Copies of this chain bind each other. A is one copy, B any other.
Amino acid sequence: MRATLTHAIEDYLKIIYDLSVIDAWVSTSQIAKALEVKPASVTGMIQKLAAVTPPLVEYRKHYGVILTPEGERVALEIIRHHRLLETFLHETLGFDWDAVHAEADRLEHVISEEFEERIAQVLGDPTHDPHGDPIPDRDLQMPVHATTCLSELRVGQQARIERVRNDNCELLRYLSERGLLPGVEISILDYSPFDDNLYLQVQGRPESIVLGPRITGQIFVELK
């Protein structure tokens, strides 16, 4: 019979979706790390997700999982909740850019379809959240969005920041203090090959900035 979608199940599906962007098959330990639980707990859960009807993941022992169409549907539903909530918290309630994630992570499991619909309307059906992440539409289709990573840029290139990975609120605060927000224009001044540092100029700021690969790998841009 059809599975009850508990909060934990929803969080697992959401994280599996996110991780599968990098590689379609997702390993037990990737999930464990992302959710900050032990690998043994992940094995227990993914075996359950694979055993319900209809299955939410396909599971290969000692190899990993991939979302089924049904699992992906549920994941996108929760991701839509999460990103609409982040946008609402920021735009309508005035939460800081870096404070919305934790709040949305709890609310996403609890709001009704009516709540989802009403905040979407209040916000005018936004296509991106405050971090620039795309929001699936009512039919759970993802809008097209930038996939060029800032770490790929080299000297002389210019770009506009589209999105910033949002799971670390210290990083978000660090970036916003330096003006590195979605929509902002940047140009690359220099690149040092051994440490992969990028020297860049943020439009409207006097000083230049140096960013290491741990940061530039989290920022996605649209080339000019």
Contact = CB atoms under 8 A, between A and B. Distances in A.
Contacts of A118: 93-95
A122 B93 CA distance: 8
Contacts of A8: none
A102 B106 CA distance: 17
Nearest to A7: B110
A93 B110 contact: no
Interface in A49-107: 89, 92-95, 99, 102-103, 106-107
A111 B122 contact: no
A119 interface: yes
A119 B89 CA distance: 10
A41 interface: no
A115 B94 contact: no
A6 interface: no
A114 interface: yes
Contact of A103 (B93, B114, B122): B114
Nearest to A102: B112
Interface in A115-149: 115, 118-119, 122
Interface string A178-202: 0000000000000000000000000
A96 to B, nearest CB: 9
B107 A93 contact: no
A95 B116 CA distance: 12
21 contacts: A89-B115, A92-B92, A92-B122, A93-B115, A93-B118, A93-B119, A93-B122, A94-B118, A95-B114, A95-B118, A99-B114, A102-B112, A103-B111, A103-B112, A103-B114, A103-B115, A106-B110, A107-B107, A107-B110, A107-B111, A110-B110
Interface of A: 89, 92-95, 99, 102-103, 106-107, 110-112, 114-115, 118-119, 122
Given A103-B114, A107-B111, 16 more contacts: A89-B115, A92-B92, A92-B122, A93-B115, A93-B118, A93-B119, A94-B118, A95-B118, A99-B114, A103-B111, A103-B112, A103-B115, A106-B110, A107-B107, A107-B110, A110-B110
